[in-house]
Amino acid sequence: MININESLNSLIKDLKDSSPNLENSIKEIAPVSFLLNIKHHKNIYITINEDSSKISFSEQSYDFEIRASLMDILKIAISGKLNKDLIYGNGEIAIVLFNAIHKSDIDLIYLIDKYFGSLPAVFTYTIVKKIFESSEIYQDENYRDMRKRLRDIAIRLDRLEVLKSL
């Protein structure tokens, strides 16, 4: 049986590992509790704390509530814009939490690589690069050199993992 609290804590740990500032942001606002009320689904009560976060389906106290449809949640995740009409209760805490997550520069490619493997990460990286390509970033020679060295290290690590499994 899956322990959802362990899974949530593991996910938050991975998010902290993939982001340089998320851990400090969570320390500043923790503990924060909220209710995720998705239409046609059971209420989800989430508490984010520094050390141990919890997720529950039984009623608990919370700072704010997000009432939305699944499509609204997907739009928020894709666009990065929080619709304030979906927030009930302490909207200020909700906005601070959302901004902490949104502005934390979570490395999505790292998370995809960790959970789904190198091939999906490469495909995602290629798609994101084509969609959001910016000439300013790639004109910096030091940045290009650093990215090349990181790719080389990632390739070597993948090779070592393959050799280790043989």
Q: What's the pTM value of the predicted model, to 2 decimals?
A: 0.64
CATH topology of domain 4-102: Nonspecific Lipid-transfer Protein; Chain A (3.30.1050)
Give the pairing type, strands 44-48 and 87-89. unpaired
Q: What is the pLDDT of residue 11?
A: 81
Structure tokens given for 121: 């990460």
Check: CB of residue 94 under 8 Å from CB of residue 66: yes
Tell me the C-alpha distance between 140 and 135, whole Å.
9
- What are the start-end ranges of the E strands in 44-163? 44-48, 54-56, 64-68, 87-89
Q: What residue segments make up the domains of the chain, in order of their start?
A: 4-102, 108-165
Per-residue model confidence (pLDDT) at position 87: 92
- Divide the 166 residues of the chain into consecutive groups of 10 and give the mean pLDDT of each group: 80 80 83 90 90 88 91 79 88 86 78 81 76 54 70 74 72
DSSP 158: H
